[in-house]
């Protein structure tokens, strides 16, 4: 095989299929006799349900049935966060009360999607409006209208203890409120489902999911069925970003109605439905106070978080726990006060979104660090350098109890500064300021540590060789843009010493995959990849054992040759291919008494601790001070995700993450007017286009993790975590001569222009 394929920039093997239109997405799955399901949704954010009139819908063309809450005997949806009252579980169809504009009132089933949608518009609901809880601050008020009256409160969590000593040693204290605004995930492929019942009562659910087994478990709970009676299959998936982890009510209803009708049922969102009903992300506000000595040494930090949970608690209601784990970032901060509340509101439920708690923490801390640098009249790079944890101090346990596995934060900063030509940029900035130019230059830094595989550090893989020589790799991870079809076979290719084109990749089928933690939390390579590595080594060991038994040779004398063959050491002519050994393995007579037939290896890899990628991003922007327009000129991303398996794939993940960072920093925000959605399409909810995306210069340091045999850490979310604060810091840096300290995201032209006009220091430029 020559040099190792691990670390090589192997082109994605899935791309020819996907870019040529040969991908097989949910809408491509055929099912004879299938019908369409379309929900009728509440336009009222909060209210008590009276009568739901379905008569006109029942009589509409093509309609097969209309279902209200009383027409289906199914359980409420699972709660997506720990230690919460079961009374907050979301009913699949609202029965007594609607809690956000988008709650399901009824479901229409018809022979076509258009007929179902037309009939869904004919369902009429009598809803008595209730006062709307528009923000978590409103929801936390003891006098607020209650989403779940039996609970007696809208506050789901209220945790942390005050620590007056957190800032007592500081010479300087900076105080800032940082809002991580509510975002929509906007995957290219919206949500959907196809439920196919069989005559024996078994149900197959095709769904775009980040966790096939998670969907299976949740669906079994909602339907009250044995999980063995359900198969979940995941085809190609057009993006997830955390929003496709959980089972949605529409998917459960699709399955329940398919069982009721005894025929396949489809559901696919429109884009407006997707923006309204798919879980949102972020929606977290932090009040940060950071203290330091006069020479810039940080002495402590106080963070107080308010989390918007939306109308029903999903994982988003628990996001501050992950924000706490990242509260000190890459810095040696000895004292931390961390308080947080999570509150129900009459809005779309909040769930994980690319980074899930870590971008929120990094954004808040990095804004505070920049403001501290400004207060001390210190260069932003220098204050970071002075406070980084030193490379010789790993493993390092932080003030909040996280055990950072490995790192060299100074190296990533130095690389980012060098690649951006930081010193020259500062000189150009000074020239523009001195000349009072209309277009000002801003340079922003974002240094971060993030946690990957922060939970669920166990997963499974299997590798099987057949007598024809085809190797099938069964992956517990599900790719929805992650390049698993390339990177995972790279591991198999290296271990078995076979070409990539001989490896068949299987994922997303609960009948074929024993169990799976899913693709989320940047866990795939380190957890699933390590399981694949161990499973491959099991195959090689078994092949050696079979060869030794068949040839009556000591196993210690049997080796794997560079061409992948198995034979006696020093006697290459004796060697057999894996296909030949797989043929031997079909006959029990060729095997030791205690060995199962077949050439197969399975492994469940369990990792003891999380891993902690890190890096520094540098953004260069131009701000037109007359219009408020922001142009991102360049973005330098220097990330460290441990050992790199495939540089091309890693760079691609960073590119995607930076694009979403640009979106949050400059464009995206899902807004409501007293519970009524105001950004329900892609003309009002803006995502980055070509003009918004800069030249992205990607580089890496490599600090292997000791936590897994690959030395790998996660990279899927790092680009978003590092880029967002770097972009915001760059814009605020450009506006420093105006005395502007902070602007809440997104930094739209109107916000920037208004901040400049409101500044009392405009004469300084």
Domain membership of residue 144 (yes or no) is no
Are 285 and 352 part of one and the same domain?
A: yes
Three-class DSSP category at 713: coil
Q: Which of 584, 606, 628 is the last residue of a domain?
A: 606
Domain membership of residue 580 (yes or no) is yes
Q: Please count the structural domains in the chain.
A: 3
Domain membership of residue 419 (yes or no) is yes
Are 434 and 536 part of one and the same domain?
A: no
Strands 439-449 and 614-624: antiparallel
Are 264 and 360 part of one and the same domain?
A: no
**In which order are the strands placed within the sheet that holds 47-53?**
97-98, 47-53, 124-129
CB 610 within 8 A of CB 449: no
CATH assignment at residue 260: 3.90.1170.50
SS (H, E, C) 508-523: CECCCCCCCCCCCCCC
Three-class DSSP category at 608: coil
Instruction: Give the closest residue to 429 by CA, choosing from 734, 727, 732.
Output: 734
User: What is the C-alpha to C-alpha distance for residues 702 and 713, in angstroms, rounded to an integer?
Assistant: 10
Are 343 and 396 part of one and the same domain?
A: yes
Report CA Rg, the chain: 28
Are 686 and 757 part of one and the same domain?
A: yes
Q: Which of 589, 606, 623 is the last residue of a domain?
A: 606
Domain membership of residue 162 (yes or no) is no
CATH assignment at residue 418: 3.30.365.10
**Spans of the chain below 50 pLDDT:** 1-2, 763, 765
pLDDT digits (tens, 9 = 90+) for 592-619: 988 999 999 999 999 999 999 999 999 9
What pLDDT does 760 receive?
64
Are 575 and 624 part of one and the same domain?
A: no
Are 648 and 722 part of one and the same domain?
A: yes
Domain membership of residue 193 (yes or no) is yes
Domain membership of residue 269 (yes or no) is yes
What pLDDT does 2 receive?
46
What pLDDT does 4 receive?
66
Are 339 and 272 part of one and the same domain?
A: no
Q: Which of 570, 590, 606 is the last residue of a domain?
A: 606
Domain membership of residue 320 (yes or no) is yes
SS (H, E, C) 368-409: HHHHHHHHCCCCHHHHHHHHECCHHHCCEECCCCCEECCCCH
The end-to-end CA distance of the chain, in Å, is: 63
Domain membership of residue 174 (yes or no) is no
What pLDDT does 376 receive?
98
Query: What residue numbers bound the domain in which 459 lies?
Result: 454-606
663-683 b/e (C-beta count within 10 Å ≥ 16 → b): bbbbbbbbebeebebebbeee
How much of the chain is helix, strand and coil, in % rounded to 5?
35, 25, 40
CB 694 within 8 A of CB 617: no
Instruction: Give the closest residue to 451 by CA, choosing from 564, 324, 541.
Output: 324
User: What is the C-alpha to C-alpha distance for residues 379 and 422, in angstroms, rounded to an integer?
Assistant: 11
What pLDDT does 1 receive?
42
Are 640 and 536 part of one and the same domain?
A: no
Are 706 and 558 part of one and the same domain?
A: no
What pLDDT does 239 receive?
96
Are 560 and 670 part of one and the same domain?
A: no
SS (H, E, C) 192-216: EEEEEECCCCCEEEECCCCCHHHHH
Are 301 and 315 part of one and the same domain?
A: yes
What pLDDT does 218 receive?
98
């Amino acid at each position: 095989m020559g040099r190792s394929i691990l670390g090589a920039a192997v082109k994605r093997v899935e791309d020819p299929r996907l870019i040529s239109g040969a991908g097989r997405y949910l809408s491509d799955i055929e099912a004879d006799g299938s019908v369409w399901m379309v929900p009728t949704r509440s336009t009222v954010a909060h209210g008590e349900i009276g009568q739901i009139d379905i008569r006109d819908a029942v009589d509409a063309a093509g309609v097969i049935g209309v279902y209200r809450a009383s027409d289906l005997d199914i359980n409420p949806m699972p709660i997506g966060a720990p230690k919460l009252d079961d009374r907050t579980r979301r009913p699949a169809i609202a029965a007594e009360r609607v809690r956000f504009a988008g709650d399901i009132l009824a479901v229409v089933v018809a022979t076509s999607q258009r007929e179902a949608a037309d009939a869904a518009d004919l369902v009429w609901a009598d809803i008595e409006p209730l006062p709307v809880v528009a923000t978590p601050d409103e929801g936390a008020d003891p006098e607020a209208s209650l989403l779940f009256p039996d609970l007696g409160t809208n506050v789901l969590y209220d945790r942390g203890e005050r620590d007056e000593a957190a800032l007592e040693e500081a010479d300087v204290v900076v105080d800032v409120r940082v809002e991580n605004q509510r975002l929509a995930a906007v995957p290219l492929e919206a949500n959907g489902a196809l439920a196919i019942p069989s005559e024996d009562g078994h149900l197959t659910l095709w769904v775009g999911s980040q966790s096939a087994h998670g969907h299976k478990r949740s669906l079994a709970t909602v339907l009250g069925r044995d999980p063995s009676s359900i198969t979940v299959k995941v085809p190609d998936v057009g993006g997830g970003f955390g929003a496709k982890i959980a089972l949605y009510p529409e998917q459960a209803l699709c399955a329940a109605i398919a069982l009721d009708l005894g025929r396949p049922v489809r559901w696919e969102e429109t884009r407006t439905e997707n923006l309204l009903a798919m879980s949102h992300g972020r929606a977290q506000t932090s009040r940060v106070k950071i203290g330091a000595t006069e020479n810039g040494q940080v002495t402590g930090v106080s963070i107080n978080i308010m989390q918007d949970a939306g109308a029903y608690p999903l994982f988003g209601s628990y996001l501050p726990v992950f924000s706490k784990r990242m509260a000190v970032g890459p810095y040696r901060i000895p004292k931390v006060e961390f308080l947080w509340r999570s509150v129900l509101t009459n809005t779309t439920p909040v769930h994980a979104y690319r980074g899930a708690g870590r971008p929120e923490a990094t954004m808040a801390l990095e804004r505070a660090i920049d403001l501290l640098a400004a207060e001390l009249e210190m260069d932003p790079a220098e204050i970071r350098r002075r406070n980084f944890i030193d490379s010789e101090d790993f493993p390092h346990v932080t003030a909040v109890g996280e055990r950072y596995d490995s790192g060299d934060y100074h190296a990533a900063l130095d690389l980012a500064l060098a690649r951006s030509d930081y010193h020259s940029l500062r000189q150009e900035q000074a020239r523009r300021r001195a000349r009072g130019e209309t277009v000002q230059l801003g340079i922003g830094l974002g240094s971060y540590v993030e946690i990957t595989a922060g939970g669920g550090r166990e997963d499974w893989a299997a590798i099987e060789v057949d007598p024809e020589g085809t190797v099938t790799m069964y992956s517990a991870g599900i790719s929805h843009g992650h390049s698993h079809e390339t990177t995972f076979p790279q591991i198999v290719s290296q271990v078995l010493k076979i070409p990539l084109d001989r490896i068949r990749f299987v994922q997303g089928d609960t009948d074929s995959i024993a169990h799976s933690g899913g693709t989320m939390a940047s866990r795939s390579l380190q957890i699933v990849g390590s399981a694949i590595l161990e499973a491959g080594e099991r195959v090689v060991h078994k092949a050696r054992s079979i060869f030794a038994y068949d040839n009556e040779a000591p196993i210690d004398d049997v080796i794997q040759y560079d061409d992948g063959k198995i034979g006696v050491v020093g006697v290459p002519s004796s060697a057999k291919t894996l296909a030949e050994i797989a043929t031997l393995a079909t006959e029990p007579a060729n095997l030791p008494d205690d060995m199962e037939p077949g050439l197969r290896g399975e492994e469940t890899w369990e990792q003891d601790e999380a891993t902690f990628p890190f890096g520094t991003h540098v953004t260069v922007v131009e701000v037109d001070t007359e219009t408020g327009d922001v142009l991102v000129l360049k973005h330098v991303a220097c990330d460290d995700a441990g050992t790199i398996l495939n540089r091309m794939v890693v760079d691609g993940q960073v590119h995607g993450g930076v694009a979403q960072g640009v979106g949050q920093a400059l464009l995206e925000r899902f807004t409501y007017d007293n519970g009524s959605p105001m950004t329900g399409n892609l003309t009002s909810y803006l995502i980055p286009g070509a003009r918004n995306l800069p030249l992205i210069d990607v580089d890496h340091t490599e600090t292997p993790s000791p936590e897994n045999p690959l030395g790998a850490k996660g990279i899927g979310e790092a680009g978003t975590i590092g880029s967002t604060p770097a972009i915001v810091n760059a814009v605020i840096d450009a506006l420093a001569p105006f005395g502007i300290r902070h602007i809440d995201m997104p930094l739209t032209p109107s916000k920037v222009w208004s901040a400049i006009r409101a500044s009392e220091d405009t004469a300084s430029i």
